[in-house]
Amino acid sequence: MLTLLGNQFERGFCDGLSRRGFLRIGTAGFGVAAGSNIGLNHILADQDARQSDRSLIMIYLPGGPTQHETFDPKGTAPREIRGHFSPCQTTVPGVHFCELLPKLSASFDRFSVIRSLTGMLNRHESFQCYTGRPGGRAGDQEPAGGWPTIGSVVSTLSDHKARPVPAYADVSPKMSYQPYNNKGLHDASGQSSWPGFTGSEHTPFAVEGEIRRDLILQGVDLDRLNQRASLLRSLVDFQPHIGSQELTKFQNQAFGTLTNCRLADALDLALEPERVRLRYGPDQTTHASFGGAIQSGQRLLMARRLIEAGVRCVTVALGAWDWHANREGPIHKLSKKYLPVFDNAVSTLLQDLQERGMLDRTTVIALGEFGRTPRINPKGGRDHWPSTQSILLAGGGIQGGRIVGQTDRQGGVPVDRPVHIQEVFATLYRNLGIDVNNTKINDLAGRPRYLVEDGRQPISELY
């Protein structure tokens, strides 16, 4: 067994363990034989997947979407500002979105929009979207261990013994531009803040790749698996020098995953009625030169299924939004190709959650690293613009049909109610039932850290 564990470690975590490696430990460490097709759902009885916990689906839009062609059109501005498309009336009189978002316009009662987000930096990385903070460079003042993502915080504060599934999961596809992936890798600096000071056991359960093959008990029934688990615990207790505390945590996670059918079933979209899968629409690839994600409504469906199964925080990257016009074409071409897919997928997710009675306890946010320039560049695209962006927020107690903040006539800077990204994170924590005024987590130097900075509070206008 010792040799087996030593040979199964792979690079990935800062301590040398990969997520796939920990699942292999969970199977191989229990003496599982190869070659069987017995799955988890054939071993355990069906379980009720409904959970009372409040949860979060974070939709990350790699590259930074344009506010003008989405939620903050400037229909009366000059052509080089307003672009090629007309505003579309939403369900709220006087509020318009881009005409390429007709489904979201017609369902504005399910969500609200912040048009004046501030606090984001000009960095092509998922880190600041998942943490609400900068990191990886001199002057960022990261604490010992680095900032954790919101999912890692949720995982840290969750009762793992009472949970049949991981608290934190990532359903994003693998992206060729590495800082877009949910691994804390920073743009330009090449440094990594992943997984942050909460520790390796609070990295997301990543479903991409060969993970499904590891969710099968090969030739082992539940009684035998329990016997193997008991033997492993006894061995570690008897010879503590052979297994670190960190390794024991991974083994416990692996065992819990293998002995519960909820996670495996949630990942199997074939169990979803075909009519529901069709509503979310087919996947659409994005141009490889963007290095971003595919547009996948099916992954939003998987996120909903994971929330139903009891996962508290699910992150998913959707699309490729770095629309300078140096890749694939000018912004009007990219908008006509990609925005209708975004419109259908996100509006369907919100409708699905509401129909299932899940929207009140499930917060949904869609955001990118920054917005795009007010003026279209000579190539026909929009460049990076960290001064503001528009983001979508829904569920968890957030009222629908509200606009928070206003930008100037060109859509470049907030002129009313600038909203800082840390206020957004305070809102997300509030919806998850976490008190940002009193909750602290120690960093690796033992210093208590608040979850948001400078006493930032939830956005009261959303409630």
Q: Is the peptide bond before 62 cis (omega within 30 degrees of 0)?
A: no
What top-level class would CATH report for the domain 54-216+262-462? alpha beta
Amino acid symbol at 271: L
Q: How high is the pLDDT of residue 53?
A: 82
Please choose, from the candidates 386, 67, 12, 23, the residue with its C-alpha nearest in 3D space to the C-alpha of residue 214: 23
Distance from first CA to last CA of the chain, Å, rounded?
55
- Give me the half-sphere count of Cα atoms (radius 13 Å) on the Cβ side of residue 162: 8
Residues in CB range of 235: below 8 A, 6 or more apart: 1, 242, 243
Contact 383, 326 (CB under 8 A): no
Per residue in 348-359, pLDDT (tens digit) is 999 999 999 999
- How confident is the model over 259-280, as a mean pLDDT? 90
Per residue in 68-111, pLDDT (tens digit) is 999 999 999 999 999 999 999 999 999 999 999 999 999 999 99
Q: Is the peptide bond before 195 cis (omega within 30 degrees of 0)?
A: yes
Contact 172, 60 (CB under 8 A): yes
Contact 150, 136 (CB under 8 A): no
> Which residue shows structure tokens 């792979």?
10
Please choose, from the candidates 20, 56, 126, 44, the residue with its C-alpha nearest in 3D space to the C-alpha of residue 311: 56
Per DSSP bridges, beta strands 313-317 and 168-170 are parallel
Domain-by-domain residue ranges, the chain? 54-216+262-462
Give the span between the Cα atoms of 330 and 332, in whole angstroms: 6
Give the span between the Cα atoms of 253 and 299, in whole angstroms: 24
Per residue in 301-337, pLDDT (tens digit) is 999 999 999 999 999 999 999 999 999 999 999 999 9
- Where residue 263 falls among pLDDT bands split at 50, 70, 90? confident
Would you call 451 helix, strand, or coil by DSSP? coil
Q: Dihedral of CA 109/115/120/122: which sign?
A: positive
Give the span between the Cα atoms of 407 and 414, in whole angstroms: 4
- How confident is the model over 393-412, as a mean pLDDT? 98
Given a cut of 50, whether residue 376 has pLDDT beyond it is yes
What SS3 string covers 257-289?
HHCCHHHHHHCCHHHCCHHHHHHHCCCECCCHH
Rg (CA), the chain: 22
Per residue in 202-254, pLDDT (tens digit) is 999 998 855 555 555 445 555 654 565 565 555 555 555 544 555 455 555 55
